[in-house]
Amino acid sequence: MTADTTLALIIVLAVFLGLLAIRLHVGLSLMVAGGLGIVLLLSTDAAVSTVSNQPYSTSASYSLTVIPLFILMGVFAVNARLAEAGFDAASRALVRIPGGAALASLTGSGFFAAVTGSSVATVATMARVSTDAIVKAGYGIRLAAGVVCAGGTLGVLIPPSIILVLYAVVTGVSIGPMLLAGIGPGLLTILAYAVTIVFLVMRGRRRQAKEVLPVDSAARTFGRNELGDTEAQGSARAELREPKAEEARPRIDIMGLLFLGVIFLVSIGSIYMGLATPTEAASFGAMAALIVLLIRTRPPKWLTVIRESLTEAVGLTAMTFLLMVGAGVFTYFLAFSGASRALVNTVVDADMSPYVVLICCLLLLLPLGMFLDGVSMILIAAPLLHPILSAYGFEEIWVGILVVKVAEMALITPPVGMNAFVYSGSVPEAGLGRIFRGILPFILADVVVVAVLIMVPEIVTFLPELSAAR
């Protein structure tokens, strides 16, 4: 790159970060910064032409129709209280297991994240409810913070995942196999989180059992264990007892669970069986979710609920496409400036081991979590990292799952994990220090999951290959 191009790139990045600092929408920040870069390198007319044409060129693609359909399906499912059905069933089934309330909250966050496709929205919605349930069961707020913040990231891999669809679109990877590839890593992540919860609870109980706490000192000592740092909530005996399963066992919504399974089979199952394309499967899923919504809503409220659902879906779709348009303008600037090509050439010419390059590319995503949500990170990073990793011969879908997984890890990684700040806003008494201490064990679990996925790529590729062989 020339000196002028390098200067323009520095100015554009500085403007972009400055706009984020004043809390301008990420999509608009990308559009303004990218447009400024085009002005600096070409002309004002070129920038105006690019910005005006980008909305149509970005959205006028048949493959992108899967995004509003999946969003609509998720909104219908949430308003039909299907995520609540999954949470209540998990609460009842897991209540006798050590850390049962935390495991139920993790499951509920996973259900909600899967149907909404947004990690931040999941944390904002589940924070208060899950924290109250976990603390009431006798566990600490630190554990609650870790469970909710980490649980919000589950939706990135569990289909239908909007982020996986976006990654497939911006990199040219097939959408159907990409969605199927997320199932194995998603289940592995859930297992890793569950093991982490049980380990933390059992270790905390062993430490508590070794302590002889006089009743009058309970208020001073409560919260100084691996699970908590909460306020005193009673006597020492009340703290050390097992949570009673009979205290608050929610009723299982059998029909809600059945409906949830039907929607998943109609949408994702039809892709796996080769019966429908991703767009067709998303439309089937949206229709099934609409029928379920009508069944679970009283007739006088049908029009109101449908209108509210459509309004919410339109808002989420518009936000997603605004991010795509802004990222499109920014990517056009990077491509024209030669920054993308120079980055690829620099990495390839460095003659490093392919796996060293892979790890370095994944680590580059972590700082982005300080400023951006998962969708924005994918739209910015995928066009840059995909060509680099493809040049080393890595399997595209496997690379995509790793990139998306680490991008969501960035949302809970200190010092500025976005999920932690969202949780802090919903549960201000937790405190950021305590929240990040609660998140740390789950970050370690994520590191283990990523390492396993790198060493055993078949976890990612098994279902896509099995579906292709049918």
Give the helix/strand (H/E) hosting 7.
helix 3-21
Q: Please check whether residue 327 is in contact with residue 381, taking contact to mean a CB–CB distance below 8 angstroms.
A: no
pLDDT tens for the 470 residues of the chain, in order: 677 788 888 898 899 889 888 878 888 888 999 999 999 888 889 889 988 888 888 787 787 888 888 888 888 887 888 767 776 777 677 767 777 888 888 877 776 766 666 676 678 777 777 788 788 777 888 888 898 888 888 877 877 788 888 898 888 888 888 988 988 998 999 999 999 998 888 887 656 545 443 434 333 333 444 444 444 343 333 333 344 444 445 567 788 778 888 888 888 888 878 788 888 888 998 899 899 999 888 887 888 888 988 998 888 888 888 888 888 888 888 878 877 677 777 776 777 888 988 998 888 888 776 667 777 788 888 888 888 888 888 899 999 999 999 988 888 887 767 788 888 878 888 888 888 899 999 999 999 999 999 999 999 999 888 877 66
Considering only CA atoms, which of 144, 139, 147 is closest in space to residue 233?
139
Q: Taking the mean position of all CA atoms in its chain, how far away is CA 403?
A: 12
Q: Please check whether residue 283 is in contact with residue 69, taking contact to mean a CB–CB distance below 8 angstroms.
A: yes
* Phi, psi (degrees; rounded to nearest 5) at 372: -125, 155
d(CA 291, CA 108): 22
Considering only CA atoms, which of 231, 257, 299, 320 is closest in space to residue 81?
257
Tell me the per-residue pLDDT of 405-429, one tens digit each, with 9 for 90 and over.
998 888 888 776 778 888 887 888 8
Positive or negative, the Cα torsion across 301, 303, 309, 312? Answer: negative
**Which pLDDT score, from 0 to 100, does residue 1 have?**
62
**Which pLDDT score, from 0 to 100, does residue 215 have?**
38
**Which pLDDT score, from 0 to 100, does residue 458 have?**
93
**Which pLDDT score, from 0 to 100, does residue 448 have?**
95
- Residue 315: other Cβ atoms inside 10 A: 12
Considering only CA atoms, which of 421, 372, 382, 371 is closest in space to residue 404?
382
Residue 172 region by backbone torsions, left for phi larger than 0, else alpha for psi between -120 and 50, else beta: left
Tell me the per-residue pLDDT of 148-202, one tens digit each, with 9 for 90 and over.
888 888 877 877 788 888 898 888 888 888 988 988 998 999 999 999 998 888 8
- Confidence (pTM): 0.78
